[in-house]
Amino acid sequence: MYDIRLTGVTKRFEAFTAVNDINFTIPKSSVTVLLGPSGCGKTTLMRMIAGLESPTEGRIFFDDHDVTDVPTRRRNIGMVFQYPVIYRGTSVRRNLELPLLSEKLSKAEIEKRVDEVAEILDLTSVLKRQVEELDNGTRQKIAVGREVARQPKIILFDEPITNIDLTSKLELKRSMKELFGRLQQTIVYVTHDQTEAMTLADQIALMQDGVITQSDSPKEIYEKPTSQFAGWFLGNPGMNFVPPEFISVSGNKVSSPLFSQVIDMGTRAKDADTYGVRAEGIQVSLTETKGGVPAKVTRKSIGAGGQYLLDLAFGSLLAKARVSHEIGKAASGMVYTTIASENITFFDKSGTAI
Ligand code: ADP
Ligand code: MG
C-alpha cells in the first residue's frame, strides 16, 4: 500500500486560494479523515490526490513516486462520491463484477472477490436483485463494494454518507466501520461531520480555510485541541469557551470565577486570553461541596446513552455540562461545579492553545 505525501500543495482558482501550501503525509494502510466545514478545501485536496485536479504549486507522492503529472487511471486508486454511481438495468452482482472483467482475472477470482465484499457490506442477500429496486444507502454500498473489489492501493471517499437518507445512514456508517477494519488499503475519507470522523478515523486531519490545522487521533484531537477552532468544531456540543473578562492573571497565576483553584501556568500565563472546557470536564454536584462553584440550571436535555446535558448559568456566562443520568434527572435550581485543572485548555489571543 502507498502513503500519500503532499509537499507544498496549493490550489488557486484565479485569485482564490482553495488549498494553501499543504505539507502532510497520509500514512499507508490506515483511515485518514479530512474533516472541516463546507468550503474549506477538502474536495479540492481529494481531487488533487485523485488526479482530477492539478495543483497550482507543489508535488504529490505515492510512496516515493511523484504522481503529480500521472493521470487518474494510472494512479491505482478507487473513488466513492456523494451520490452513488451505479450501473442501472443490471443486478448487484453485475455491478460489483463489471470493473473486474476488464482486468486479467480468472472467473473464480472475480467470484471470490465479489462474494467477499458482498459479505463484508451485507449485500449477499441482494446480489441477484436489480439495483433500481434498492434504496439509496444500499446503492452507495454497491458503489463502495465495486471500488473495494478492484483492490486499488488507495481508496478515496468524498462524503459518501452525506446525501443518504436518514434511515440508511446509520447502517451505511456501520458497514463502513466494519469494512475499514478489514481493509489494508490507504483510505482518505472526506466529511464535514465530526461524529462520522470520530467514528471512522484512525487519524483526523482537521481543515480550515485551505490548510490542515491539526492532525491527530480522534481522542487526541478531541481532548487536546491545538486551537479554539478545533475545540469548537469537534464534539457535540463543542467546547465551552470562557472569554477574557472571566480570567484574571497575576504573575504566573491564573484564576477565574468558574473554578476555585489557582492555576500556575508559568510564563505562559501572560498569553492566556480565553480558556475552554469540554461539557464532560465540568463536574456537577447537587449539594454544596468544598470549592464548588454555584451555577443555575437553565435547561436540561437527555442525550444518547441516557446522559444529560445541562445548560448552566454562572452569572451572565453560559456553559454546558454533561452529567450522568442520575445527576441530570435530579438537577434543578442551583448546582455546584468543579473543573479539574487538566480539563482546562488555555488559548492566546489568536486562538492557539498555549
Ligand atoms: P469542501 O469540499 O471542503 O466543501 P471545496 O474543496 O469543494 O470545499 O471548495 C473549496 C473552495 O474552493 C470553495 O470556496 C469553492 O467555492 C472553491 N472552488 C472549488 N472548486 C472550484 C472551481 N472549480 N472553481 C472555482 N472555485 C472553486
Ligand atoms: Mg466537498
Looking at the CA of 48, which ligand is closest? 1
pLDDT band at 305 (very low <50, low <70, confident <90, very high): confident
- Whether residue 43 has its Cβ less than 6 Å from ligand 1: yes
Host H or E run for residue 334? strand 334-339
pTM attached to this predicted model: 0.94
Give the chain's domain count: 2
Query: What span, in angstroms and rounded, lies between the C-alpha atoms of 182 and 119?
Result: 12
Task: Identify the three-state secondary structure at position 70.
Answer: coil
CATH value at residue 131 = 3.40.50.300
In angstroms, how far apart are the furthest CA atoms of the chain?
A: 76
Q: Find where cell 490550489 sits.
A: 11
Residues 201 and 275 in one domain: no
Q: How many residues does the chain have?
A: 354
Mean per-residue pLDDT over the chain, rounded: 96
Separation of CA 81 from chain center: 17
- Whether residue 37 has its Cβ less than 6 Å from ligand 1: no
251 CA distance to ligand 2 centroid (A)? 46
Domain of 147 in residue numbering reads as 4-233
11, 43, 44, 45: residue to mutate for ligand 1 pocket, most atoms within 8 A of CB: 44
Q: Which residue's alpha carbon is at the smallest distance from atom 21 of ligand 1?
A: 13
Residues 218 and 94 in one domain: yes
Q: Which atom of ligand 1 is nearest to the CA of 190?
A: 2
Among 183, 203, 233, give the residue marking a domain's end: 233
129 CA distance to ligand 2 centroid (A)? 31
Among 172, 201, 233, give the residue marking a domain's end: 233
**Whether the predicted pLDDT of 108 surpasses 90:** yes
Secondary structure of 110-140 in HEC code, one letter for each residue: HHHHHHHHHHHCCCHHHCCCEHHHCCHHHHH
- Whether residue 39 has its Cβ less than 6 Å from ligand 1: yes
DSSP secondary structure string for all residues of 150-167 = T--SEEEEESTTTTS-HH
User: Phi, psi (5° rounding) for residue 6?
Assistant: -110, 125
* Per-residue pLDDT, 104: 87
Set of cell numbers at residue 96: 460489483
Percent of the chain past pLDDT 90, that is, above it, reads: 96
Query: What span, in angstroms and rounded, lies between the C-alpha atoms of 109 and 94?
Result: 15
